[in-house]
Every structure is written in C-alpha cells, then in structure tokens.
Structure 1
Amino acid sequence: MDFAFDARTEELRSRLLAFMDEYVYPAEAVAREQRAALPSPWDTPPVVEELKAEARRQGLWNLFLPDAEYGAGLTNLQYAPLAEITGRSPQLAPLATNCAAPDTGNMELLAQFGDAWQKKQWLEPLLAGEIRSAFAMTEPEVASSDATNITTRIERDGDEYVITGRKWYISGAMHPDCAIFIVMGKTDPDGPDPHRQQSMVLVPRDTPGVTVARAMQVFGYEDHAHGGHAEVVFDHARVPVSHLVGEEGGGFAIAQARLGPGRIHHCMRLIGMAERAIELMCRRAVSRTAFGKPLARQGVVQNWIADARVTVEQLRLLVLKTAWLMDTVGNRGAHTEIQAIKIATPRAVVDIIDRAIQLYGAGGVSQDYPLAELYAAARTLMIADGPDEVHQQSLARRELRKYL
C-alpha cells in the first residue's frame, strides 16, 4: 500500500486548498447572513451559487465520481484527501463542488444502474448542478436499520407503478430544486427471499400523491447542506414502469451498492471535520488564559490535543486502506474495512469535537463557531447509513466465522 499523493491528486489538493482559503471559509459567515434574509430557510444563499460557479471554473467539480464519463475519474484513494478538505466546511464545500450527499450517492446509483433515458432525464442535470435529489428509504414505523422491514408498497398496475407509504429523514427533500425521489419499496412483499422483495423507482417530486409533509430537524438544525430532511407521504402516487431502476427485486442490492461509497465519503469528510476541530482547539488554547496561564499550558488541554492528533492519524490510515482496497479488490472485498471505518470514525470524531466544544465553553455550543454544527453532523453519522451496532454485529460475525 502506497498512500503517497500522485501528481494529479497533489495538483487537485493544491487547487482545492487555495479555493477553501480564498472562497469557502470567507463565505461561511456570508451564507449565514444571507440565509437569515431569505424568504424560506431552504432557499439557496446567492454566495453558494457564486461558489459553485467558481468551483466549476477551476475544475473542482464532481470530484467524487470514479467514472470518467460522468465525473473526474478519480479513484477512491485519489478522492479521499480531497473529500477530507471539503469536510472542513461541511455546510459549504461539498455543495460548492457538487459533491454533497444525497446527490452524490444518487448520481452514482443512476450512473451504475440507470438506463439511457433515466441518465438523460435525471443524471445529466444532477451532474450539472441544475437540480437536486432525494433518496427515500427510511421509514418512521419500522426499524429501517433492517431494510427488509420497509413497508412502502410499489404495486404494478398496467403500465404504471403505484407507490404508497410514508418515509422520513429523507435528505434533500426540502430543497426547492429537489426534482426527483429515488424511492425504495416492496414490489413482492410475500416473496420467499426477503432481500428480493424490494425495488427502486424514480418519482418526480411534482407527481400527484407525493406530499412533503414536514421538515425534520437534526439536533435543532435544518441541515441545509443536504437539502434538509423531510417526512414524505406517497399516497397512491403513479409513475410509468420506465421509472423502475434496474429490475424488480433488485432494490436491496442497489441500496447496498449505493451505501458503500457513501459510507467512505462520510468518513473522509469526518476526518476533515476533526482537523477543523483540532485547529479551532489549538487557536483557542493559545489565545485564552485561565487561572494564571494559557490554556495551552494546562495539562488536560495538552492531553486532549495530543490524543486528537493520534486519533486522526489512525483514522486517516484506516480510511486510506479502505479506499485502496475498494480500488483494488472492489467494495465487496473491502466490506470489513468499510464497516470498520463506519464504526470507528464518527465515534472518534464526535469525541474530538466534544473536547473542542468543552475548550470553547459557552462559545462552543453557540452559533458563533462551527463546533456545535460539526458535532450534530458527526453524531448523526453514528446512525445514518446503518447504525454502528448493525455494523458491529456484522463485523463480529465475520470475525467469528474464522473460528466456528
């Protein structure tokens, strides 16, 4: 394993770091001010569109897609340090570079499983940043950590599918530019194989019978970067059978294919969030005095900073190893490592951000610093894309299998 940056990665890193310093960090306060003046909290602040235009001009666009036909054609190993950089400003940088969830996963899904018409209709405008999208799988009435539990029905009626069900925490659904839902439901609820009962269909947001019922907050935040989260009701919504993604019964497998890259992308960005927290911690430590000496000379603060640095270096190596395996042996071959980083990274980053909040005192939980928002995002990722406990159980079974 060689984790040294190749020439293309180094060049993109250099440009992306300069873009962050010159455009993204200064825009954070501007975006907050502009958003407060918008008629809807889901409208896009003008500065975001300016960032997107500049990112496109600089070639910092669709970096996440390994398929060169649609994206930058980077490997996971090449993309990892770039995603880490954007994670330092998770509310703006992924949006600015068109690398924000849930659109990234939806674009990957359409690129891999969509037919020619679906790609033309939905993938191309997503790649251009002209629309946004949502992935509708999680439901309030069942334990969605087990995707075989979902109850939404997708029933064939002639040349149409009829979708009935209730979803929630559907990322992207609140954004006014969200034009398409990728909906997972059951086409064969009584089928003998519980992993072949589900299918996915594309449902335009303006389809009769689709109601965005309410916005769902995350620790009191609206989570604008992901286009918000919503409860969505599908009441006998009808779409043509041409809106089926892949084949009937293939929904579970498609979901798993979508979630693998999504999990590592989250972990890449989480490392950037941890780096931002460490930077803020150090700046606070050298600028504040308590009990007669700078915080930087307090032993407990030094321990926090040292432990944070060690933890981040460990996590980064594990994420890079996972990226390398995904590139060399595929997602299935990297399954154990994907689960390992999904367990380890959010948990550790939450702890680092929590220490930074403690160091800032009241400021740490305020809107004046990004720490509270970083904490909410990191803590949520212990649940999103499968709760930690599910990954722990699966990983343990795989480990025990060697001895049984």
Structure 2
Amino acid sequence: MDVVARTRAFVDDELIPLEPDLLSKGWVAMLPTLRGKRDEAKKRGLWAPFLPQEHGGLGLTLLEYAHVSEVLGRGLLAHWVLNCQAPDVGNMELLIAHGTDAQKKQFLEPLTRGEIRSCFGMTEPEHAGSNPVWMSTRARREGDQLVIDGHKWFTTGADGASFCIVMAVTDPEAPLHGRASQIIVPTDTPGFRIVRNISVMGEPGADHPSHSEIRLENVRVPATNMLGPQGAGFALAQERLGPGRIHHCMRWIGICERAFELMVTRAATRELSPGKPLGTQQQIQLWIAESRAEIHAARLMVIDCAERIDRVGAHGARDYVSMIKFHVASVLQQVLDRAIQVHGALGMTDDTPLAYWYRHERAARIYDGPDEVHKASVAKRILQAHGMTARKD
C-alpha cells in the first residue's frame, strides 16, 4: 500500500531523528516540535488512518490499518503524531458507533481534529484488572444528572485529557455483565481529581504518556453523558478491545522490527577484537535467526486475526484475538531482551530506545487482560469442544 510506504518514510525521516531529544528532554519540552510534525502529517495525507473519511481520516480497513500501525510502532510516540494513539482511538471508535449527535459534536469532533485528548477509566486499584465486571465505582441518577463516586488508576494519558470515559456500576442488582455503564466525564468537572501520575519502573510519570490515579468524588454530569445504553458498559468495553488488540499487536511488531534492526546492526559492527564482529558468535546468530522467525510468525498471526475480525466480527474471532495478544506480547519481550543483551551496557541506557520500550512494554503481558487469563480462556473453549464439562461452583 502506498500509505504504508509514505508512513514509513515519514516515521524514519521525520520522527525517529527526534528520539534522542525526546528521551533526554522529555515530552513536554518536545511538544511544540511534535505538534509541528502533526501539521506535517496532515499535509502529507497521513492523519488518523483508522478514522472513516467523513470524520477526517483515511478510512482504512482494520487489516489495512494494521500494516500502518506496525510502521508507526517503529517510532516513539509516532502514533500520537498521526492521532491514532491509545486510548483515543478506542474512544473515537466508541463515540462514532454509540455517541449521540450532541456527544459527537462536543467530544468526538475536537478529538478527531487533534485539538484535545481523552482517557479511559476502567481499572481500579482495589480490584483485580483481570475481572473487569468487578468494580466499586458507582453512578446514581439524581434528576437529570449522574453522580459518580469512585477510584481508578492506570488511566492512560489522564494528565492533560479533556474528558474521561468512566466505567461505573449503575445497576448493582443486574446480572454481572449488565451492571456497569460508560459515562463521559469532562476532566474539569468538580470532584474529578488526578491523585498522581504513576511512575513506571523508576521513570517518573511527569509526561503525557504516563498513567494516572484518579478520584471521582460526587462528580455530577448530565445524564445525557451516558455513552450507549445503561448497563452496556461491559459490552462496549469488549467491543473496543478486539480491534484494539490488533492495533497493539501490530505496534508491538513494529517495535520488534526496530529492535531487531538495532540488534543486527550492533552485532555486525561491534567488534569483540580487531576484525572479529560480535555477530561471529554462534549465540548471537541464534538470537538473530530466532527473532526473525518469531517476528514473521507473529505478524502472520495478527494479519490472519484482523482478516477474521473483518469477516466474522471480534466475538467470532475471540480465540484468535486472545492468541495474538499473549503470543505477540511474549515475542516482544523476547526480542527486546535479546536486543538489550547484544548492546551490552549501552542497551541499559537511553542512548537507544530499547530501555524505554523495555520499561513501558513489559506491561504488554498485563494490560487488556493478563496473558494467563487469555491462555486459560482459549484452552477452556478447546477442551469444551472436545467434550469436557466442568461443575459450576
């Protein structure tokens, strides 16, 4: 696809050269430069590739966007420059599918134009994230308002976001999967408070890519801010996760490809002694061959899954969605670890992007459901198809 080649040229020529300054100076200092790159992305016709054309995007299919997302994964924050970063992508998709005209006018349109950012508040520190139907945040109806009280954390990008889509229990007596709703909460609403930006593996959470802990204390919003029907919160969350995992997995593959290139270059040019490159060592050769095969296999799995989602929907492809999630996350960690090892002490520094990815992408095996939960889910359905029944406790 022409858009993939053009995106690759933009990332490699315009964004990757900015990474040393980004890693040394931080997001805030680089924001004016990155905003300029956003303007350049719009001029080049690369803006919001996943969005339908009527909303200002390129209108790519899920499979087509998967290839673009891989290319964007090569660069730090390249997704943000093209306005297709998490959690904004999922929020835009939900607003397009389920938002009212008023919600689209107030929240979706400025988000698609890149004028504002958003966040998504689901995970709570008091409850296991692997059980998304178990949460304590509550929203009660008072007249024409919803009153929300709760505690969330790992709310990505909350610092600086204009609104948060909050998962809250609206009907505690309903069946498990019908208790929660999604509610749009402007972050300047009284009672919405960022407690802290969470540090990750020793890296202070001072910049936009951080995760925040938030409190909602007697937060009042119009009842018309409910997104979709009451009680549909879990269904909407699942709806965004299927395509979202395609986005994540292809981004991870893009990271793998960049890490692989750095590893191979280091192995070919770093000398153990005069005339003897590091790549002459058999163990390094094994890592290179294994990484090449694993990345290739992971890419084919994700492409196959994207085609299945386009054909039968996220629910029909749920086992394949789970498989790519835990498989690609594992490949990502393996490739990054090998690349760091080949770089030696240099790999531990921020002179390359490897350490940054290692800090932030270790979470790949945790968020969107721990790998172990996805593995158990796939295995149970396979066993049930072969006649296994289990007693319900």
- TM superposition score category, shorter chain reference: over 0.9
* In 1: Cα distance, 2:47 partner to 2:373 partner: 34
- CA apart distance, 1:34: 4.6
* In 1: Cα distance, 2:244 partner to 2:209 partner: 16
TM-score when normalising by structure 2: 0.95
**Residue identity in the other structure for 2:165:** I
1:4-403 → structure 2 map (5 Å cutoff)? 10-35=1-26, 42=28, 45-65=31-51, 67-70=52-55, 71-89=57-75, 91-174=76-159, 176=160, 178-191=161-174, 193-221=175-203, 227-290=209-272, 293-403=276-386
The aligned length equals 385
- CA apart distance, 1:112: 1.0
* In 1: Cα distance, 2:108 partner to 2:347 partner: 40
Larger CA deviation: 325-334 vs 164-173? 325-334
**Residue identity in the other structure for 1:15:** R
**Residue identity in the other structure for 1:402:** A
* In 1: Cα distance, 2:311 partner to 2:299 partner: 18
* In 1: Cα distance, 2:7 partner to 2:205 partner: 23
- CA apart distance, 1:264: 1.1
Q: Unaligned stretches of 5+ in structure 1?
A: 1-9, 36-40
**Residue identity in the other structure for 1:205:** T
Deviations 1:80-132 (A, max 9, x none): 1110000011x321011101111111111111111111011011111000000
Deviations 1:262-315 (A, max 9, x none): 111000000000001110001101111125621111100000000000001100
> Do the aligned partners of residues 100 and 260 (structure 1) sit closer, same or farther apart at CA in structure 2, a change above 3 Å counting?
same
Larger CA deviation: 392-401 vs 218-227? 218-227
Asked if the contact 2:259–2:335 (Cα under 8 Å) also holds between the matched residues in 1, the reply is yes
Asked if the contact 2:124–2:152 (Cα under 8 Å) also holds between the matched residues in 1, the reply is yes
TM-score when normalising by structure 1: 0.92
Q: Secondary structure at the match of 2:162?
A: strand
Asked if the contact 1:347–1:379 (Cα under 8 Å) also holds between the matched residues in 2, the reply is no
> Do the aligned partners of residues 226 and 317 (structure 1) sit closer, same or farther apart at CA in structure 2, a change above 3 Å counting?
farther
Q: Secondary structure at the match of 1:72?
A: coil
- CA apart distance, 1:389: 1.1
Deviations 1:197-218 (A, max 9, x none): 0001000000001110000122
Q: Secondary structure at the match of 2:136?
A: coil
Asked if the contact 1:366–1:372 (Cα under 8 Å) also holds between the matched residues in 2, the reply is yes
Asked if the contact 2:198–2:205 (Cα under 8 Å) also holds between the matched residues in 1, the reply is no
Asked if the contact 1:92–1:225 (Cα under 8 Å) also holds between the matched residues in 2, the reply is no
* In 2: Cα distance, 1:24 partner to 1:225 partner: 18
* In 1: Cα distance, 2:37 partner to 2:207 partner: 13
* In 2: Cα distance, 1:304 partner to 1:224 partner: 35
- CA apart distance, 1:68: 3.4
**Residue identity in the other structure for 1:202:** I
Alignment-derived partner of residue 391 in structure 2: none
> Do the aligned partners of residues 281 and 77 (structure 1) sit closer, same or farther apart at CA in structure 2, a change above 3 Å counting?
same
Q: Unaligned stretches of 5+ in structure 2?
A: 388-393
Asked if the contact 1:215–1:231 (Cα under 8 Å) also holds between the matched residues in 2, the reply is yes
Identical residues among aligned pairs (%): 44
Q: Secondary structure at the match of 1:109?
A: helix
- CA apart distance, 1:361: 1.1
Q: Secondary structure at the match of 1:169?
A: strand
Asked if the contact 1:87–1:94 (Cα under 8 Å) also holds between the matched residues in 2, the reply is yes
* In 1: Cα distance, 2:13 partner to 2:142 partner: 54
Q: Secondary structure at the match of 2:133?
A: helix
Asked if the contact 1:215–1:228 (Cα under 8 Å) also holds between the matched residues in 2, the reply is yes
* In 1: Cα distance, 2:354 partner to 2:271 partner: 20
Q: Secondary structure at the match of 1:45?
A: helix
* In 1: Cα distance, 2:361 partner to 2:300 partner: 19
- CA apart distance, 1:223: 6.8
> Do the aligned partners of residues 226 and 244 (structure 1) sit closer, same or farther apart at CA in structure 2, a change above 3 Å counting?
same
* In 2: Cα distance, 1:227 partner to 1:123 partner: 21
* In 1: Cα distance, 2:371 partner to 2:201 partner: 19
> Do the aligned partners of residues 14 and 225 (structure 1) sit closer, same or farther apart at CA in structure 2, a change above 3 Å counting?
farther
Q: Secondary structure at the match of 1:98?
A: coil
